[in-house]
C-alpha cells in the first residue's frame, strides 16, 4: 500500500482557497442542475403536447371508426331490406306467370298449345330457381342463411328425390338408382329444405352432364364421436368426369368447370357454391372424386342428430285426393294484387271449392264476420290492413265468442324462415310461399285443416 493510513479529521477552520474552490464547484453544480431542470421542464411540456395531440388523434380516429361502423351496419341493413323486398317483388310477378301458365294448362288446350304452355311454365320455374340461387348466395354472404331444424325421415328424402329426378333421368335415357343403408332408415334432426336443395343440386348436375349410363344416389348415416351422426350423401354419375385442374374451381361462386359449360349447359354457377356453404353451415363438407372419362362422385356430409319418436307423417293421400276432399269448402282469400287474385281463382277452380276474394285485411275481417268460412287464405302485405293485423282481429273475435279457430294460411312472398316463424307466432295456421303451385297450396290447405281437426274424412 503506497498511501499512508487515513489522517485525523481536520480542524473546524477551512482555508480561504478551499472555501473558494468548494463555492465555485457548488455554483457550477447549481447552474448545471438549473439547466437540467429547464431541460426536464421543456421535455415534460413537449410530452404534454404530444399527449394531448395523441388524445385528440385517438378521439378523431375512434369517431371515424364509429362512423364507418355505423355506415357499414346501415349499408348491410339496407342490403338485407333490399334482399327481402327484391325477394318479394320478384316472386309476385312470377306468381302471376306460373299461376297463369297452370291456369292455361287447365283450360283445355290443343297439344300444340299445351307444349307452348309447358315451356312457359318451365321457363318460369327456371327463373324462380335462378332468383332463389342469387338470393341464397346473398343471404350466405350476409350471414343470414336461415335453417329450420326439424325431425325428418330420410326415406322421405329419397322418395322426394326419386319423384323429382327419376323422370328427368329416364327422359335422357339414363338409369336412376337410389340406395339407402339400413342405418339411414331413421329419423334425424336436420333442415329438410336445405338438405333437399343440396341433394337436388347434385342430382340435377349429374343428370345434366351425363349423356349415357346412370346416376346413383346413396345415403348412409354414420355415428360420430361427438354423439351426433354424419349424414353421408353420395351422387355418382357415369358422365365425362372433371379434370383435376378444374375441380377446385367448381365450388367457387359464379364459376363452372370451364366457360364452355355455360354456353352448352347454362346455369348460374351458384349451385355448388351454395351447396358447399349449406354443408359447411351444417358442420359438414362437400367433396368430389373424379377421373376424366370415368364419371364423377360428389360426396356431401352434414352433421345430424338421430332422434326417436314420430313425425307428423303425411298419411299418403295424394294431392288429387286432398283436392277432392277440399271440394265442399267455403274459402275466403284476402289478396290485393289483381294477378294473384286471378291465379288463386284459377288454381282453386279445379278443386271445386267456393272462393270469395277481398282485397284487404279489413274487408277480410268483415267478410269473416258475415259468413262462416272453413278457411282463410291471407296475404301479408295489403293496403288498409295487413294480413297480420287481420289475423289478430279474427283470433280476438274467436276467443271472445268462444268460437273454434278458423284455419288461416299465410300466402306470401315473404318466405324467409324468420318471417314464416313470425306468421305462425301471430296466430296463423300455416304458410304457402309465392309463387304458389296448386300442389303446394292444396297440400298446405289440407295440412292446416288436419291440424284443426277439420279434415273431412
Partner 1 sequence: MKGIIFVELIRMAESVMGEEAVDDILEKVNLENDGAFSAVGNYPCRELLQIVDAVGAELGAPVEALHKQFGHWMFGRFVEGYPTFFEGKTDGFDMLESIENEVHVEVRKLYPEVELPTFATEWLAGGQFKMIYASERPLQHFCHGLVEACLLHFKQDVSIEMTERKDGGSFYAEFLMQTAA
User: Closest approach of Cβ 227 to partner 1, in Å?
Assistant: 54
Closer to partner 1 by CB, 23 or 224: give it. Answer: 23
Closer to partner 1 by CB, 37 or 258: give it. Answer: 37
Residue 46 in contact with partner 1, rule: CB under 8 A: no
Q: Which helix (H) or strand (E) holds 49?
A: helix 16-105
User: Closest approach of Cβ 6 to partner 1, in Å?
Assistant: 5
Residue 1 in contact with partner 1, rule: CB under 8 A: yes
- Each residue 280-299 as x (binds partner 1 by CB under 8 A) or -, in order, gives --------------------
- Closest residue by Cα to residue 341 from 319, 358, 320: 358
Closer to partner 1 by CB, 26 or 185: give it. Answer: 26
Residue 362, Cα to own-chain centre: how many angstroms?
Answer: 32
User: Closest approach of Cβ 23 to partner 1, in Å?
Assistant: 8
User: Closest approach of Cβ 42 to partner 1, in Å?
Assistant: 15
Could you tell me if 90 and 131 are in contact, meaning their C-beta atoms sit under 8 angstroms apart? Answer: yes
Helices (H), 182-309: 192-209, 244-247, 259-265, 271-281
User: Closest approach of Cβ 50 to partner 1, in Å?
Assistant: 19
How far apart (Å, rounded) are the C-alpha atoms in residues 71 and 1? 84
User: Closest approach of Cβ 225 to partner 1, in Å?
Assistant: 51
Closer to partner 1 by CB, 21 or 418: give it. Answer: 21
How far apart (Å, rounded) are the C-alpha atoms in residues 361 and 393? 10
Measured in Å, how far apart are the chain's first and last C-alpha atoms?
127
How far apart (Å, rounded) are the C-alpha atoms in residues 95 and 340? 7
Closer to partner 1 by CB, 17 or 372: give it. Answer: 17
Size of interface with partner 1, in residues (CB under 8 A) = 23
User: Closest approach of Cβ 72 to partner 1, in Å?
Assistant: 46
Could you tell me if 407 and 430 are in contact, meaning their C-beta atoms sit under 8 angstroms apart? Answer: yes
Closer to partner 1 by CB, 24 or 384: give it. Answer: 24
Closer to partner 1 by CB, 40 or 58: give it. Answer: 40
Could you tell me if 321 and 346 are in contact, meaning their C-beta atoms sit under 8 angstroms apart? Answer: no
User: Closest approach of Cβ 3 to partner 1, in Å?
Assistant: 4
User: Closest approach of Cβ 31 to partner 1, in Å?
Assistant: 9
Q: Which residue has the cell 354423439?
A: 227
Question: Interacting stretch for partner 1, rule CB under 8 A, among 1-9, 46-54, 154-162, 290-298?
Answer: 1-9
Closer to partner 1 by CB, 19 or 254: give it. Answer: 19
Beta bridge partners of 412: 433
What angle in degrees, to the nearest 10, is found between the helix axes of 361-370 and 387-400?
30
Phi, psi of 10 (to 5 degrees): -70, 165
Q: Calculate the dihedral angle through the C-alpha atoms of 89, 94, 95, 98, rounding to the nearest 10 degrees.
A: 180
Closer to partner 1 by CB, 11 or 245: give it. Answer: 11
Residue 2 in contact with partner 1, rule: CB under 8 A: yes
Q: How many CA atoms, within 13 angstroms, populate the side-chain half-sphere of residue 144? A: 17
User: Closest approach of Cβ 47 to partner 1, in Å?
Assistant: 16
Cβ neighbours of residue 454 closer than 8 Å, sequence gap 6 or more: 374, 407
Which three cell numbers mark 454?
277439420
How far apart (Å, rounded) are the C-alpha atoms in residues 195 and 217? 13
How far apart (Å, rounded) are the C-alpha atoms in residues 63 and 76? 20
Closer to partner 1 by CB, 24 or 291: give it. Answer: 24
- Other CB atoms within 10 A of residue 342 CB: 16
Closer to partner 1 by CB, 29 or 75: give it. Answer: 29
Cβ neighbours of residue 13 closer than 8 Å, sequence gap 6 or more: none
User: Closest approach of Cβ 51 to partner 1, in Å?
Assistant: 21
Closer to partner 1 by CB, 29 or 114: give it. Answer: 29
Question: Interacting stretch for partner 1, rule CB under 8 A, among 2-10, 134-142, 321-329, 352-360?
Answer: 2-10
Could you tell me if 376 and 406 are in contact, meaning their C-beta atoms sit under 8 angstroms apart? Answer: yes
If you write DSSP's letter for every residue of 420-439 in order, what string do you get? HHHHHHTT--EEEESSP-HH
Q: 298-317: which residues touch partner 1 (CB under 8 A)? A: none
User: Closest approach of Cβ 36 to partner 1, in Å?
Assistant: 8
- Each residue 3-42 as x (binds partner 1 by CB under 8 A) or -, in order, gives xxxxx--x---xx-xx-xxxxxxx-xx--xx---------
Residues lying near partner 1 in the complex (CB under 8 A) are found at 1-7, 10, 14-15, 17-18, 20-26, 28-29, 32-33
Amino acid at each position: 500500500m503506497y498511501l499512508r493510513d487515513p489522517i485525523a479529521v481536520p480542524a473546524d477552520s477551512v482555508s480561504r482557497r478551499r472555501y473558494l474552490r468548494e463555492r465555485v464547484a457548488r455554483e457550477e453544480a447549481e447552474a448545471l442542475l438549473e439547466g437540467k431542470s429547464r431541460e426536464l421542464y421543456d421535455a415534460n411540456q413537449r410530452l404534454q403536447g404530444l399527449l394531448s395531440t395523441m388524445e385528440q388523434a385517438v378521439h378523431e380516429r375512434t369517431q371515424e371508426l364509429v362512423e364507418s361502423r355505423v355506415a357499414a351496419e346501415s349499408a348491410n341493413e339496407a342490403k338485407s331490406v333490399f334482399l327481402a323486398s327484391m325477394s318479394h317483388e320478384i316472386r309476385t310477378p312470377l306468381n302471376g306467370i306460373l299461376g297463369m301458365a297452370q291456369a292455361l294448362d287447365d283450360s283445355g288446350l290443343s297439344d300444340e298449345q299445351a307444349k307452348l304452355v309447358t315451356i312457359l311454365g318451365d321457363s318460369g320455374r327456371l327463373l324462380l330457381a335462378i332468383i332463389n340461387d342469387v338470393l341464397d348466395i346473398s343471404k350466405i354472404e350476409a350471414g343470414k342463411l336461415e335453417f329450420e331444424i326439424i325431425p325428418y325421415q330420410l326415406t322421405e328424402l329419397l322418395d322426394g328425390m326419386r319423384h323429382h329426378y327419376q323422370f328427368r333421368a329416364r327422359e335422357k335415357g339414363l338409369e336412376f338408382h337410389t340406395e339407402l343403408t339400413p342405418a339411414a332408415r331413421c329419423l334425424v334432426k336436420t333442415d329438410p329444405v336445405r338438405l333437399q336443395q343440396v341433394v337436388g343440386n347434385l342430382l340435377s348436375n349429374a343428370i345434366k352432364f351425363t349423356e349415357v349410363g346412370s346416376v346413383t344416389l346413396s345415403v348412409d348415416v354414420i355415428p360420430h364421436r361427438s354423439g351426433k351422426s354424419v349424414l353421408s350423401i353420395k351422387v355418382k354419375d357415369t358422365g365425362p368426369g372433371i379434370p383435376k385442374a378444374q375441380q377446385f374451381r367448381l365450388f367457387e361462386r359464379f364459376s363452372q368447370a370451364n366457360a364452355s359449360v355455360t354456353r352448352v349447359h347454362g346455369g348460374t354457377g351458384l349451385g355448388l357454391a351454395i351447396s358447399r356453404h349449406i354443408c359447411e353451415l351444417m358442420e359438414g363438407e362437400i367433396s368430389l372424386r373424379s377421373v376424366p372419362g370415368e364419371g364423377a362422385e360428389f360426396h356431401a356430409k352434414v352433421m345430424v342428430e338421430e332422434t326417436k319418436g314420430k313425425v307428423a307423417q303425411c298419411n299418403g293421400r295424394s294431392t288429387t285426393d286432398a283436392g277432392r276432399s277440399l271440394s265442399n269448402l267455403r274459402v275466403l282469400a284476402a289478396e290485393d294484387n289483381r294477378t294473384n287474385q286471378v291465379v288463386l281463382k284459377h288454381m282453386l277452380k279445379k278443386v271445386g271449392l267456393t272462393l270469395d276474394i277481398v282485397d284487404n285485411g279489413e274487408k277480410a275481417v268483415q267478410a269473416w264476420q258475415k259468413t262462416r268460412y272453413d278457411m282463410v287464405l291471407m296475404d301479408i302485405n295489403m293496403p288498409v290492413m295487413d294480413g297480420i293485423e287481420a289475423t289478430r282481429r279474427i283470433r280476438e273475435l274467436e276467443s271472445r265468442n268462444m268460437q273454434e279457430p278458423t284455419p288461416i294460411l299465410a300466402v306470401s312472398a315473404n318466405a324467409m324462415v324468420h318471417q314464416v316463424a313470425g306468421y305462425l307466432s301471430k296466430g296463423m295456421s300455416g304458410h304457402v310461399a309465392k309463387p304458389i303451385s296448386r300442389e303446394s297450396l292444396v297440400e298446405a290447405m289440407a295440412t292446416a285443416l288436419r291440424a284443426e281437426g277439420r279434415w273431412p274424412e
